[in-house]
């Protein structure tokens, strides 16, 4: 095979250059500006690197064992240029020298071949570089042959082997699709190798081989590309950043073709001192204006050409045609434009009666469809019907319509083709407003985001405020946003000026780029929810910057697994912000980060009042450090959640000292699930008796307490300086002796306790009797009592029912879950509900009430004026009884 002829043929191709087609592969190769696109495996950017660049991936994939490589990627991702580079490299002797023959075919050109032909005919007459005398060698040595098929998605007929009679004879004539299917499925020239490039298409399911997915250009490749395009590095940086940040469609920015188009338009505008486009619609208006100007048409002809292109676009979208014949083109109104459509369309085929026409870019196809809609006098059903008809295959149509509906964006185009149809514009705007308002009243994340994209394209601040007002449900979870979603959401929120809650729950990987785009929105959000999320260090830095100087009051990073280093970055923003609450539950924090928290809390500008460190292993050393902040007059912390933080009695002295310092503002401390023990409680109780201690709530759920702790607690509760109104001692072995000592304190006239939890504390009937006596004493302030999971049965709980019925009882909430209640308690229970003037909430889960109790329960709860909620879950009720309970909306079952 004549490699020189192959090389000459490729490098001397004469193809019309256009803004829409991207830089011609031959131009890229000859000018040595080729940058290999990325595959899914990596980020190599050196054009000579084999690593995970496309070139390297192809060479690694095509082996003696793997004879077919299937290259997939979106439009403009660099597949065609990469294949031409492959063939040029082979012809120059740079790679794939194990193949003696390389045949490069493009389906856009093969589609012009009609009728039947044999493999021999295809190779001899439609390739052009095979001397007839070489053909027998090719056919006898298939392992030396590599076929390169580009644009497989353009194949007009199926490659399903079941619909063809596959051929094995080199001289047998068959249809083009049958010939290709026979080659790919091995019945013809078995042993040959193949590289096939295609967009995602159903035909791929019929192929077997190694798949290589093309990503195109990520940020490093774009940087290299723009720097090679623009002579001035500052101009290159300005253009790239503007494209990435402003246009808001980052998946499109991965396309080398799109990058070339943008660079070409931007360079022209920058050289002329013009303003760069703010939206995708403005970009394509500029492209269309440049293309029309290049044809020097008058206004009527320009409008006629745009109308014809719009009709062709609609035909291609609706009928899923990638190309059109000349006859079809004439039916669209192209008769007078066929000699000049090359700037808009690809033209394939040498003979006029066999020529086919297709769009260079699906984006331009959809943009022209949008323009033609606004050019028409009327469209049956208006914008809604038009969008409904095209929605399955037109991804950007509504976005282009939104952009064109704004006068500022369409004005340059109207100067060439005349004003767009006012009725169509009004119809679209009417649909857009009603559709957006209806969408934003719902809870579908995808629909919300699409609406934001439309508003971004419109670039109309007053429209945003008109569309987004109550009852719009801005604040549903928008987790896992793409970069373009971030840009759209950020535009909308900056137009609104503030956001009640930015809900990014369960964002799997918030990158630095995403956080950078969202930073203005973060600074305008009163609450940020990033629970169950994963943040990169760069994202944390942008979050910290957004908090600093922003209006955010609450930040939820629960289960974000930050780690100490990321928290250090975050603390930089905590020193100068309006943050009131931060939740850091399960964030993999240790005592090492406590110094950073101390610095933030004592910065003098921190407003932090609530700090939740639940399920972090800060240990005693960590809490001791935090106590330094608590003793500072600059620390405003009021609520400290230390649930399951590996704490012991060793750090309670430090906490007690802080509480007594006179500087601490702490009102609530949660020490649940720590090993506090008697010594720890003793230290805490000393602070509770101190006149400078302001603590109102102390939670010691499952904290290794016994009856030995109760004398200390009793002394604290009876102290004249104690201000504790809530105490949780649940899941501790207090037993009868300890609980009775507590009751002694509760009976004291000055005891401030209003909420007491004693669930699963090994309480006895005697304790319940004493609690009942306390509740009716006239001195108790208790309004909430939880004594569930103590097996005292009906007789034990009867003391509580009797107390509830007493006029001196102030209880509003009562929890007697899993206490062994049966139907025998019904009379006492109902009597208590009828008599009480205060009880609002009753917890009766996990008892043994049956259907027999249901009618009376429903009746008494319905009749009660003050009762608001009753939980009867997990009792022994039948389906029939549950249906009866439906009659009372206060009952949960």
**Domain boundaries along the sequence of the chain:** 3-216, 219-276, 282-427, 705-893
pLDDT recorded at residue 307: 94
pLDDT in tens, 489-533: 999 999 999 999 999 999 999 999 899 999 999 999 999 999 999
pLDDT in tens, 277-311: 999 999 999 999 999 999 999 999 999 999 999 99
Distance CA 457, CA 611 (A): 41
SS3 string, 59-127, reads HHHCCCCCCEEEEECCCCCCHHHHHHHHHHHHHCCCCCCCCCEEEEEEHHHHCCCCCCECHHHHHHHCC
CATH architecture of 3-216: 3-Layer(aba) Sandwich (3.40)
pLDDT recorded at residue 132: 85
Instruction: Provide the token pair at 561.
Output: 């697994």
Helix (H/G/I), strand (E/B), else coil: 676 = coil
Minimal CA–CA distance to 215: which of 252, 261, 264, 260? 252
Can you spell out the DSSP letters for 507-539? -S-B-HHHHHHHHHHHHTEEEEE-TT--B-HHH
Asked if 351 contacts 25 with a C-beta cutoff of 8 angstroms, the reply is no
pLDDT recorded at residue 350: 62
Minimal CA–CA distance to 343: which of 371, 306, 390, 316? 306
pLDDT at 12 over 80: no
Average pLDDT over residues 349-370: 84
pLDDT recorded at residue 392: 81
C-alpha distances (whole Å) from 250 to each of 218, 484, 487, 514 are: 9, 6, 9, 11
pLDDT recorded at residue 14: 60
What are the two backbone dihedrals, phi and then psi, of residue 378, each rounded to the nearest 5 degrees?
Answer: -165, 150
Distance CA 820, CA 795 (A): 10
Is pLDDT larger for residue 7 or for residue 584? 584
Q: Cα 71 to the chain's mean position, in Å?
A: 28
Task: Indicate if 705-893 has the same CATH topology as 3-216.
Answer: no
pLDDT recorded at residue 43: 42
Helix (H/G/I), strand (E/B), else coil: 247 = helix
Average pLDDT over residues 131-160: 87
Q: Mean pLDDT lowest for which of 121-125, 312-316, 393-397, 753-757?
A: 121-125
**Eight-state DSSP code of residue 277:** P
Q: How confident is the model at residue 48 (pLDDT cuts 50, 70, 90)?
A: very low
pLDDT recorded at residue 107: 83
Helix (H/G/I), strand (E/B), else coil: 53 = strand
Average pLDDT over residues 61-66: 79
Average pLDDT over residues 385-397: 89
What are the two backbone dihedrals, phi and then psi, of residue 813, each rounded to the nearest 5 degrees?
Answer: -130, 135
Instruction: Provide the token pair at 474.
Output: 């801005």
Distance CA 82, CA 74 (A): 14
pLDDT at 787 over 90: yes
**Mean pLDDT for the chain overall:** 91
pLDDT at 379 over 70: yes
pLDDT recorded at residue 33: 76
Instruction: Provide the token pair at 806.
Output: 């007493």
Average pLDDT over residues 393-418: 95
pLDDT at 435 over 50: yes
Contacts with 860 (C-beta within 8 Å, 6 or more apart), sequence order: 830, 833, 834
Asked if 522 contacts 543 with a C-beta cutoff of 8 angstroms, the reply is yes
pLDDT at 614 over 50: yes
Helix (H/G/I), strand (E/B), else coil: 612 = strand
Q: Which helix (H) or strand (E) holds 555?
A: strand 554-556
Asked if 636 contacts 607 with a C-beta cutoff of 8 angstroms, the reply is yes
Q: How many CA atoms lie within 13 A of 360 on its CB side?
A: 21
pLDDT in tens, 857-880: 999 999 999 999 999 999 999 999
Q: Mean pLDDT lowest for which of 75-89, 235-249, 460-474, 678-692?
A: 235-249
pLDDT recorded at residue 157: 76
Percent of the chain with pLDDT over 90: 70
Of these ranges, 30-44, 118-132, 619-633, the one predicted with the greatest mean pLDDT is 619-633
pLDDT recorded at residue 353: 64
Q: Which helix (H) or strand (E) holds 5?
A: helix 3-11
Instruction: Provide the token pair at 631.
Output: 């003793």
Average pLDDT over residues 142-155: 89
SS3 string, 787-814, reads CCCCCCHHHHHHHHHHHHHCCCCCCCEE
705-893, CATH topology level: 3.80.10
Q: How many CA atoms lie within 13 A of 537 on its CB side?
A: 6
Helix (H/G/I), strand (E/B), else coil: 143 = helix
Minimal CA–CA distance to 613: which of 658, 539, 557? 557
The answer to whether the Cα torsion of 657, 661, 666, 667 is positive or negative is positive
Q: Are strands 356-359 and 345-348 parallel, antiparallel or unpaired?
A: antiparallel
pLDDT recorded at residue 11: 74
pLDDT at 50 over 50: no
Angle (CA) 444 449 450, round 5°: 100
- Considering just the CA atoms, what is the radius of gyration of the chain in Å? 37
pLDDT recorded at residue 812: 98
Q: How confident is the model at residue 724 (pLDDT cuts 50, 70, 90)?
A: very high
Q: How confident is the model at residue 575 (pLDDT cuts 50, 70, 90)?
A: confident
pLDDT recorded at residue 219: 84
Q: How confident is the model at residue 47 (pLDDT cuts 50, 70, 90)?
A: very low
Q: How confident is the model at residue 44 (pLDDT cuts 50, 70, 90)?
A: very low
pLDDT at 770 over 80: yes
pLDDT in tens, 809-845: 999 999 999 999 999 999 999 999 999 999 999 999 9
pLDDT at 247 over 70: no
pLDDT recorded at residue 248: 57
pTM confidence score: 0.83
pLDDT at 40 over 80: no
pLDDT in tens, 630-666: 999 999 999 999 999 999 999 999 999 999 999 999 9
pLDDT in tens, 205-218: 888 888 888 888 88
pLDDT in tens, 174-194: 988 899 899 988 999 999 999
What are the two backbone dihedrals, phi and then psi, of residue 581, each rounded to the nearest 5 degrees?
Answer: -135, 135
pLDDT recorded at residue 76: 84
Average pLDDT over residues 125-138: 79
Is pLDDT larger for residue 610 or for residue 321? 610
Average pLDDT over residues 668-677: 98
pLDDT recorded at residue 154: 78
Q: Environment class of residue 808 by beta-carbon count within 10 Å: exposed (0-12), middle (13-18) or buried (19+)? A: exposed
Q: How many CA atoms lie within 13 A of 436 on its CB side?
A: 28
Q: How confident is the model at residue 74 (pLDDT cuts 50, 70, 90)?
A: confident
pLDDT at 559 over 80: yes
Q: Strand runs (DSSP E) across 405-514, as ranges? A: 499-503
Asked if 532 contacts 586 with a C-beta cutoff of 8 angstroms, the reply is no
pLDDT recorded at residue 245: 77
pLDDT recorded at residue 46: 41
Asked if 691 contacts 660 with a C-beta cutoff of 8 angstroms, the reply is no
pLDDT recorded at residue 42: 43
């Amino acid at each position: 095979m004549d490699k020189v002829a192959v090389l000459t043929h490729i490098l001397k191709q004469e193809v019309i250059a256009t803004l829409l087609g991207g830089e011609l592969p031959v131009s890229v190769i000859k000018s040595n500006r080729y940058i290999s696109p990325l595959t899914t495996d990596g980020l190599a950017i050196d054009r000579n690197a084999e690593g995970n660049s496309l070139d390297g991936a192809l060479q690694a994939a095509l082996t003696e064992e793997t004879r077919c490589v299937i290259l997939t990627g979106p439009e403009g991702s660099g597949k065609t240029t990469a294949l031409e580079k492959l063939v040029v490299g082979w012809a120059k002797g740079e790679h794939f020298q194990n193949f003696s023959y390389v045949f490069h075919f493009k389906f856009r050109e093969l589609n012009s071949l009609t009728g039947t032909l044999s493999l021999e005919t295809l190779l001899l007459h439609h390739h052009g570089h095979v001397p007839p005398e070489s053909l027998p060698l090719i056919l006898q040595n298939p392992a030396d042959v590599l076929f390169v098929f580009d644009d497989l998605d353009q194949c007009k007929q199926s490659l399903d082997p079941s619909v063809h009679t596959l051929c094995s004879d080199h001289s047998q004539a068959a249809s083009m699709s049958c010939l290709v299917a026979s080659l790919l499925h091995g019945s013809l020239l078995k042993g040959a190798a193949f590289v096939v490039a295609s967009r995602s298409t159903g035909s791929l399911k019929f192929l077997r081989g190694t798949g290589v997915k093309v990503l195109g250009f990520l940020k490093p490749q774009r940087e290299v590309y723009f720097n090679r395009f623009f002579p001035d590095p500052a101009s290159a940086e300005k253009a790239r950043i503007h494209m990435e940040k402003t246009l808001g469609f980052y998946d499109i920015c991965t396309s080398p073709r799109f990058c070339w188009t943008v660079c070409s338009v931007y360079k022209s505008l920058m050289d002329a001192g013009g303003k760069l486009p703010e939206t995708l619609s403005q970009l394509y208006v500029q492209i269309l204006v440049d293309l029309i100007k290049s044809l020097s048409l008058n206004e009527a002809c320009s409008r006629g050409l745009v109308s014809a292109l719009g009709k062709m676009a609609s035909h291609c979208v609706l009928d899923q045609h990638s190309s059109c014949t000349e006859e079809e083109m004439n039916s669209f109104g192209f008769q007078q434009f066929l000699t000049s459509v090359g700037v808009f369309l690809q033209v394939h085929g040498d003979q006029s009666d066999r020529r086919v026409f297709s769009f260079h870019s699906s984006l331009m196809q959809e943009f022209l469809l949008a323009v033609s809609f606004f050019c028409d006098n009327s469209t049956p059903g208006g914008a809604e019907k038009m969008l409904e008809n095209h929605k399955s295959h037109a991804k950007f149509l509504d976005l282009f319509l939104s952009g064109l509906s704004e006068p500022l964006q369409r004005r340059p185009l109207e100067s060439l083709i005349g004003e767009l149809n006012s009725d169509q514009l009004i119809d679209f705007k009417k649909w857009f407003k009603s559709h957006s308002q209806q969408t934003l009243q719902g809870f579908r994340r995808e629909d919300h985001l699409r609406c934001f994209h439309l508003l971004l394209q419109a670039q109309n601040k007053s429209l945003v405020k008109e569309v987004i007002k109550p009852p719009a449900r801005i604040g549903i979870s928008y987790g896992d946003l793409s970069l373009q979603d971030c840009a759209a959401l950020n535009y909308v929120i900056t137009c609104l000026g503030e956001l009640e809650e930015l809900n990014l729950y369960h964002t799997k990987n918030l990158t630095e780029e995403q956080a950078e785009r969202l930073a203005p929105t973060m600074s305008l959000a009163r609450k940020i929810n990033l629970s169950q999320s994963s943040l990169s260090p760069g994202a944390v830095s942008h979050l910290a910057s957004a908090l600093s100087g922003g209006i955010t009051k609450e930040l939820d990073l629960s289960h974000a697994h930050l780690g100490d280093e990321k928290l250090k970055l975050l603390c930089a923003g905590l020193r100068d912000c309006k943050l009131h609450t931060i939740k850091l539950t399960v964030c993999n924090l240790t005592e090492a980060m406590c110094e950073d928290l101390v610095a933030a809390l004592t910065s003098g500008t921190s407003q932090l009042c609530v700090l939740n460190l639940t399920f972090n292993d800060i240990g005693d050393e960590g809490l001791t450090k935090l106590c330094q902040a608590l003793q500072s007059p600059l620390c405003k912390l009021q609520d400290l959640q230390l649930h399951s933080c590996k704490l012991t009695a060793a750090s309670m002295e430090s906490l007690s000292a802080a509480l007594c310092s006179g500087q601490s503002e702490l009102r609530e401390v949660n020490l649940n699930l720590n090993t506090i023990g008697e010594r720890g409680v003793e230290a805490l109780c000393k602070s509770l008796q101190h006149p400078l201690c302001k603590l109102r709530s102390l939670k010691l759920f499952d904290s290794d307490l016994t009856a030995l702790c109760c004398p200390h607690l009793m002394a604290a509760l009876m102290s004249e300086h104690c201000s504790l109104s809530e105490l949780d001692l649940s899941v501790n072995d207090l037993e009868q002796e300890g609980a009775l000592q507590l009751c002694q304190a509760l009976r004291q006239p000055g005891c401030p306790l209003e909420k007491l939890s004693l669930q699963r504390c090994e309480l006895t009937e005697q304790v319940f009797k004493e609690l009942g006596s306390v509740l009716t004493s006239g001195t108790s302030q208790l309004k909430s009592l939880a004594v569930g999971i103590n097996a005292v049965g009906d007789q034990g709980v009867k003391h509580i029912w009797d107390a509830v019925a007493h006029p001196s009882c102030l209880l509003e909430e009562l929890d007697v879950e899993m206490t062994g209640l049966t139907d025998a308690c019904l009379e006492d229970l109902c009597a208590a509900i009828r008599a009480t003037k205060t009880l609002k909430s009753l917890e009766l889960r996990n008892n043994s009430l049956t259907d027999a109790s249901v009618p009376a329960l429903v009746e008494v709860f319905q009749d009660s004026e003050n009762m608001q909620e009753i939980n009867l879950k997990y009792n022994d009720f039948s389906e029939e009884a549950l249906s009866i309970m439906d009659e009372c909306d206060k009952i949960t079952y």
